Structure 1
Amino acid sequence: MYRTFFKRSLDLVFSLSLLVVLFPVILIISVILLVTTGDSPFFKQVRPGKDEALFSIFKFKTMNDDRDRDGNLLPDRDRLTVLGSFLRRSSLDEIPQLFNVLIGDMSFVGPRPLLLAYLPYYTEEERKRHQIRPGITGLAQVSGRNHLGWDERLAIDVKYFDNMSFWLDAKIILLTIGKVLGSKDIVVDGSSQVRLDDERRLTLVPEKKSDEYFSGSYLKVV
């Protein structure tokens, strides 16, 4: 009952409530970002969600769009702004994902939605993470956040899928609050994170499967 009904009901109630309470914070950050960058305060990126359906995840923008002389974006560490660094350390950049929870793309707790480019590299067991809604936080995040290796992180996501319950979600949320308040295990420079599509992973999935994932028909945002 919790997996199929109550979890989504709680997501809906709490996301709407938090959006109302945090509206002044959202407004202030949006205005500051708009004034300082002259651009949209929101970062939007397509990610795979439940059943691998694609959706647009929202965050506050923490990097500028500076490019080199050839027109390529500079490395993340060079584009991260002072305000963006603060937003990441405080996890305030994640607040816009409450809209994703409200409309049903995400849940408060679940496997983090990873990059679309990683889809071909999961094993069949690891793809269980996409049978449920992705989360703002998850068991992997409170077990080591970005410092975990990919194999370990994905194994924890599967463990969460197999053991999902109200009490586990409550524990994860409480641990997340503690980590955010203590700024523990938070990686500000995303370029330092381990990539999923390493050489070993490339040998796990046939090349033709990658082609199937990235066909024009599949890349349709729903």
Structure 2
Amino acid sequence: MKLYQNGIKRILDVLISLAGLMVLSPVFLLLILLVPCFFNAPPFFIQKRLGKDGRIFSIIKFRSMTGDTDASGNLLPDEKRTIPFGRFLRKSSLDEIPQFINVLKGDMSLVGPRPMLPFYNGLYSSVQMQRNRVRPGITGLAQVSGRNQISWYTRFRLDVWYVSHVSFWLDMHILLRTFQQWFNGKNVEHTRHIPQEFEGNP
């Protein structure tokens, strides 16, 4: 298991990400051209996220929401900033393609707990903090077990379990389930069944 975590997993991340970018390069280039036309903004959405050992990195996604604000200059709620093209990108998970770049840079892995916003780090319990022991992933055990349809508590419990049981076969199982769910259109739309914002542990 340690051999896999300390070397083989990283090699597979790089090889699969390179292959993914090559196969999806026509879609990638097309979206670079299309996204600015729909959002009147640069194609990429870049945001700070928590990485391994609490390190901050910049996650890269295709833009899927507008930057519309209210009279006070505050961003409108997500549902009011999402246009049909953005919903399509999210439902198809095409907005996630640029994260292969994060994997190649070493910020992320193909499989791991999803990266959270930095302020969440101060809300974790000591057990939940263990999710930061590995690189965050494009997909993960929580994502193939219900995604936004499960509670934060369950999501973090699955993340911590994954960290303690990382293996080649577990990663292959999660990747296979990810492709199956994507192909079947199951649990892929980010905006459905969004749970209440995580505010820490009681």
TM-score band, normalised by shorter chain: over 0.9
Equivalent of residue 90 in structure 1, options 84, 88, 92? 92
Q: Which residue of 1 aligns with 2:23?
A: 21
Cα distance in 1 between the residues matched to 2:65 and 2:71 = 18
Letter of the aligned partner of 1:166 in structure 2?
F
Q: Which residue of 2 aligns with 1:110?
A: 112
Letter of the aligned partner of 2:111 in structure 1?
V
Structure 1 residue 4, shift from structure 2 partner: 0.5
Instruction: Give the length in aligned residue pairs.
Output: 200
Cα distance in 2 between the residues matched to 1:3 and 1:172 = 16
Unaligned stretches of 5+ in structure 1?
204-222
Q: Which residue of 2 aligns with 1:30?
A: 32
Q: Deviations over 1:17-37 (max 9, x none)?
A: 211221111010110112222
Q: TM-score, normalised by structure 1?
A: 0.86
Q: Which residue of 1 aligns with 2:43?
A: 41
Q: Secondary structure at the match of 2:86?
A: helix
Based on CA coordinates, which of the two structures has the bigger radius of gyration?
1
Q: Deviations over 1:88-115 (max 9, x none)?
A: 1111111010000011000000000012
Are 1:76 and 1:191, in contact at CA under 8 Å, matched by a contact in 2?
A: no
Q: Percent identity?
A: 46
Cα distance in 1 between the residues matched to 2:66 and 2:175 = 31
Are 1:90 and 1:181, in contact at CA under 8 Å, matched by a contact in 2?
A: no
Are 1:76 and 1:190, in contact at CA under 8 Å, matched by a contact in 2?
A: no
Cα distance in 2 between the residues matched to 1:162 and 1:11 = 19
RMSD: 1.4
Cα distance in 2 between the residues matched to 1:111 and 1:132 = 8
Unaligned stretches of 5+ in structure 2?
none
Misfit runs of 4+, over 6 Å: none
Q: TM-score, normalised by structure 2?
A: 0.95
